[in-house]
Amino acid sequence: MLAIEVVFAGAGGPPTLVFDEVDAGVGGQAAVEIGRRLARLARSHQVLVVTHLPQVAAFADRHLVVAKDTGGAVTTSGVRVVEDTDRARELARMLAGLPDSDLGIAHAEELLAVAAREKRS
């Protein structure tokens, strides 16, 4: 689906593209490549991506987290923007479920640095 969207985007296509878990079933280097391609596509289109992979999320210009609260009688959902050091903590949580792990945060910061370098080139 991503390949089809990229082709259509090159031909003009819609100004906004939405991908819901386009990265399902992949990981590692393939996930990094998907993040890279989505970032490239975002240079000319608005791209909205739902992902559970930190390798893809690291390439985002804006990182949002959707959280569900089932405490109490009513289930609620909320959205928050993740920025700066909280972003590395969120990626560390996505990597291993350990938002306070020094190694997880270091890995997340490395992912963010790789994504930033790729997006500049």
Mean pLDDT of the chain: 89
Query: Please, which pLDDT band fits residue 23 given cuts at 50, 70 and 90?
Result: confident
For residue 110, give both structure tokens: 């490395």
Condensed to tens digits (0 to 9), the pLDDT of residues 29-69 reads: 999 999 998 998 888 889 999 999 999 999 999 999 999 99
Secondary element (H or E) of residue 114: helix 102-120
d(CA 72, CA 82) in angstroms, rounded, equals 26
Q: DSSP 3-state assignment of 79?
A: strand
More confident residue, 107 or 22: 107
Give percent above pLDDT 90 in the chain.
Answer: 64
**Is the confidence at residue 2, as pLDDT, over 70?**
no
Domains in the chain, ordered, with CATH? Answer: 2-120 (3.40.50.300)
> Of 73, 72, 79, 15, whose CA–CA distance to 41 is shortest?
15
Q: What is the pTM of this model?
A: 0.86
Location of structure tokens 């996505």: 94
**In b/e form, how buried is each residue of 24-41, taking b as 16+ CB within 10 angstroms?**
eeeeeeebbebbbbbbeb
For residue 45, give both structure tokens: 């289109």
